[in-house]
Structure 1
Amino acid sequence: MENVNIDERESFKRFQPLIAIIIVILLLMFGNYLGNQKAVLPIQLFSGVLLGATLTRARFGFAGGIKRIYVRGEGSLTKALLIMLFVTMFLFMGIQWYAAQNGAVPAFLAAEGEAIIPGTQNVYMANLATILGGILFGMGMIFAGGCASGTLTDMGEGEGRAMFVFLFFILGSAPGELARYKFDQSSLGKVGVQSYLPDTFGYIGALAVSGLILLFIYWLVLKYEKKRKEENTYMDPLGDWEDFEKPLAIETSEETSLFSYKTYHKLFIERWSFKTGAVVIAVICTFILLTTNKAWGVTSAFSKLEIALLQPLGVEFASPAFDKLNMSVSEGLLTDGGTIRNLGIVVGAALSFLMAGRFKFAMKLNKRDIPYFVVGGLLMGFGARLAKGCNAGAMYSAISTFSVSGWVFTIAMVVGGLISLKLFAGKMSLIPASRKK
């Protein structure tokens, strides 16, 4: 990509980095407060801020891995997601293998008091609910313009659309919890597979099998890109970069010094490649596993938030499906690690935009799109909890912890995304009618 010769300093909002610095100071104070509640909470906040800043800086999203290649014909984000999965698997494998050698067992096989292999809490039963939940979630994230983590980062970037979607995402979550509980209690809910690949192939074998699957998908992406090039519906992978986030081309010695605007632009404004974002996210998620003994998840915290919001209004959550969630809510959301990490993601995204001097509220909503945002949020909330997770917990973390359920959810989510892209093309602003827009 060519460097651009633009002097954007005139439009750069110099006060915004100062706001970012103030927020960081407040975060440090808040982290100190959280540490007095639970020692792990500041770590959750820190990892969330890192995730939010990285997702925003790289313009990285899981939903885009489906939408981008379908609409633009190029798989730069899809390939980065595959790389992220393999790097994370490799790092997780070492952690899990070490734990297993020291007597830990997968969470779903552990008796009370037994040590659990970190991350195996995401080895779910893959059944019909996983498939249906994945399809609904995949459809919803296309309508909404982002997945669960994408909705949080979009909120941090000031997107009114995401704030609207988030409300309905929350409202769909508790019904999804109830539906999954009731389904799992039925005889049909017992039909499925709950498999931890190292139990079958060993740790090296599980990595090899998973890596071969990723390599095969990577090859399919390359073949599809070639097909789209031949059809003349392939677009430049860097063609959607905005001018201000491209590298600057200022060559004078004054402007290339350490304390120049060009240096600041490189550090805080220039967009990261998808591959850079992928590797950084893999490292952050490994940090999460090491410090919490659990893999990254997003949407269980949404169910807790819904309970906390609706219980005071008289809505009852008396089903056993909500027992653990009610207990967590009774202790206070500020003691819940998932909620704190989600808050960190929102703040991290905002900090990224503020440091780039580009933050602004975009509150305008297209009336034609509003029904899709409502349905998209509800489908994502219900689908994620029906499947026991979203693209983070049920896909990324499940696959990275060698759970078969992760692959089942992924296939279902892709199918759901393609259904929305094909059936609703041109019916809302976020789904173009032409695959070359």
Structure 2
Amino acid sequence: MSIASSSLSPHVDTASPIGVPGLAALVALVAGTVALGYTYGAAHGALFLIGGALGITLYHAAFGFTSAWRVFIAEGRGRGLRVQMILLALTVVLFFPFLASGTLFGNEVRGFVSPAGTGVIIGAFMFGIGMQLGGGCASGTLFTAGGGNARMLVTLFFFIVGSLLATIHFEWWTSLPSLPPTTLVSLGPVPGILLSLAIFGAIAALTVAVEKKRHGGLEKPEAAPREGFARYLRGPWPLVAGAIALAVLNFATLALAGRPWGITSAFALWGAKGAQLIGIEPAFWGYWQAPANAKALSESVFADVTSVMDFGLIAGAMLAAALAGRFAPNFRIPLRSVLAAVVGGLLLGYGARIAYGCNIGAYFSGIASGSLHGYIWAVAAFAGNVLGVKLRPWFFMERATVRRIDG
């Protein structure tokens, strides 16, 4: 029996018009960029547009952190993980020189460098389980929801709820034992880059060894249904092209926002705004008394850079889905899948907040900043994914073969 579900159409319509959803997304991106630029400044509008570009990239490249980890755990196929190492390598090379100097194009910049301790380990482990039950990570939840996956709207809602709940206990988690903020950038740009590349190379080599042992050789990418300009307009993109685009767009975010790309702090803010609407006042909670958080809570969500980029990402993914001819929401989801979305969303939200970030803020941008907490996050989240993969059959009745293109 099923009630509500949603999925992207598995078929690609090579001649599909942009349609009403695509036109609405395009108008939102153009109008939003102009309105935000006029109200909050040109950089703010540009960051909304960068969010749109991130959504297009994630959707067209089917760049799923969750699916890449699941396929490696369940099948021993490591192509997705190797592309993630390329992504991290490119971003480290772009970031480290400017993080070391503290300026980029004359503007002050900083990385995402946080304490590494109990909260990071437990939060990332929770997040890892949530990735597999919720069906996506933070970026995956946004781009698949924007692309027409109705089930991911359930995950997103409870992601927001979990984020808000974590702000109630945030001070307690930060009081637990932890190492001080530590970054490889402190070694110097060149030594830090070389050490980072050695780590990424070792991980890539491990995936090659595992894949060859289990399958006798490396997986070859499937032939694309389109070539040339049409492929980049309507997708699907090569995974490596997606990695290059994500690295460049994160660098653009660093240049304009003064810090790397993040996603989930906005979810906590949206949850707090929603709580205020129903008579709950989170402003008295310790998390919301920190100056930056208090300021965000007192202002419009459109003043918050992370929120603006998240909105842009959703619109960009919707446009990409329309261009691909895949925007086809289906509101029939098995009950177990709905339950998995609820549990997964709560774990994702709570875990991300106490771990100082998600697969983007802690893993991608954290490691790109050389932060020790990013590496610890990755190990703990991978362990959570292992457990999450084992739990998935209880909710999804999966076959042995893992479906690859998802969040």
* Matching residue's letter, 2:31: M
* Matching residue's letter, 1:158: G
Query: Cα offset for 1:68?
Result: 1.8
1:297-356, Cα deviation, whole Å (9 max, x unpaired): 000000000011111201121112112434313211111111110001100001111122
Structure 1, 313-322 or 148-157: larger mean CA deviation: 313-322
Structure 1 stretches of 4+ moved >6 Å: none
- In the other structure, the counterpart of 2:280 is 315
Residues in 1 aligned to 2:59 and 2:12: alpha-carbon distance in whole angstroms: 20
- In the other structure, the counterpart of 2:342 is 374
Pick from 197, 206, 210: which aligns with 1:211? Answer: 197
1:62/1:267 CA distance change after superposition, 3 Å: closer
Pick from 118, 122, 131: which aligns with 1:132? Answer: 122
Pick from 204, 220, 225: which aligns with 1:246? Answer: 225
Superposition pairs of residues 31-46 of structure 1, within 5 angstroms: 31-39=33-41, 40-46=43-49
Structure 1, 138-147 or 170-179: larger mean CA deviation: 170-179
Superposition pairs of residues 237-276 of structure 1, within 5 angstroms: 237-238=220-221, 246-247=225-226, 265-276=230-241
1:8/1:435 CA distance change after superposition, 3 Å: closer
- In the other structure, the counterpart of 2:354 is 386
- In the other structure, the counterpart of 2:263 is 298
1:217/1:32 CA distance change after superposition, 3 Å: same
Superposition pairs of residues 11-410 of structure 1, within 5 angstroms: 12-14=15-17, 16=19, 20-21=22-23, 23-39=25-41, 40-99=43-102, 118-120=109-111, 122-184=112-174, 186=175, 188-189=176-177, 191-199=178-186, 201-230=187-216, 236-238=219-221, 246-247=225-226, 265-317=230-282, 318-323=284-289, 324-410=292-378
Does structure 2 retain, via aligned residues, the 8 Å contact 1:49–1:341?
Answer: yes
Describe the SS at the equivalent of 1:428: helix
1:55/1:26 CA distance change after superposition, 3 Å: closer
TM value normalised by structure 2: 0.89
Query: Cα offset for 1:21?
Result: 4.5
1:432/1:337 CA distance change after superposition, 3 Å: same
Does structure 2 retain, via aligned residues, the 8 Å contact 1:180–1:387?
Answer: no
- In the other structure, the counterpart of 1:421 is 389
Q: What's the Cα RMSD here?
A: 2.5
Structure 1, 67-76 or 141-150: larger mean CA deviation: 67-76
1:23/1:420 CA distance change after superposition, 3 Å: closer
* Matching residue's letter, 1:266: R
1:346/1:428 CA distance change after superposition, 3 Å: same
TM value normalised by structure 1: 0.83
1:436/1:364 CA distance change after superposition, 3 Å: closer
* Matching residue's letter, 2:33: G
1:364/1:208 CA distance change after superposition, 3 Å: same
Describe the SS at the equivalent of 2:121: helix
Residues in 2 aligned to 1:277 and 1:402: alpha-carbon distance in whole angstroms: 22
Query: Cα offset for 1:435?
Result: 5.1
Query: Cα offset for 1:177?
Result: 2.5
Does structure 2 retain, via aligned residues, the 8 Å contact 1:137–1:390?
Answer: yes
Query: Cα offset for 1:237?
Result: 4.8
Does structure 2 retain, via aligned residues, the 8 Å contact 1:425–1:433?
Answer: no
Residues in 1 aligned to 2:237 and 2:104: alpha-carbon distance in whole angstroms: 38
Residues in 1 aligned to 2:185 and 2:136: alpha-carbon distance in whole angstroms: 32
Residues in 1 aligned to 2:46 and 2:344: alpha-carbon distance in whole angstroms: 31
1:218/1:236 CA distance change after superposition, 3 Å: closer
* Matching residue's letter, 2:221: L
Residues in 2 aligned to 1:360 and 1:223: alpha-carbon distance in whole angstroms: 39
Residues in 2 aligned to 1:8 and 1:178: alpha-carbon distance in whole angstroms: 44
Identity %: 27
Does structure 2 retain, via aligned residues, the 8 Å contact 1:128–1:192?
Answer: no
Residues in 2 aligned to 1:14 and 1:302: alpha-carbon distance in whole angstroms: 33
Structure 1, 174-183 or 361-370: larger mean CA deviation: 174-183
Aligned residues: 389
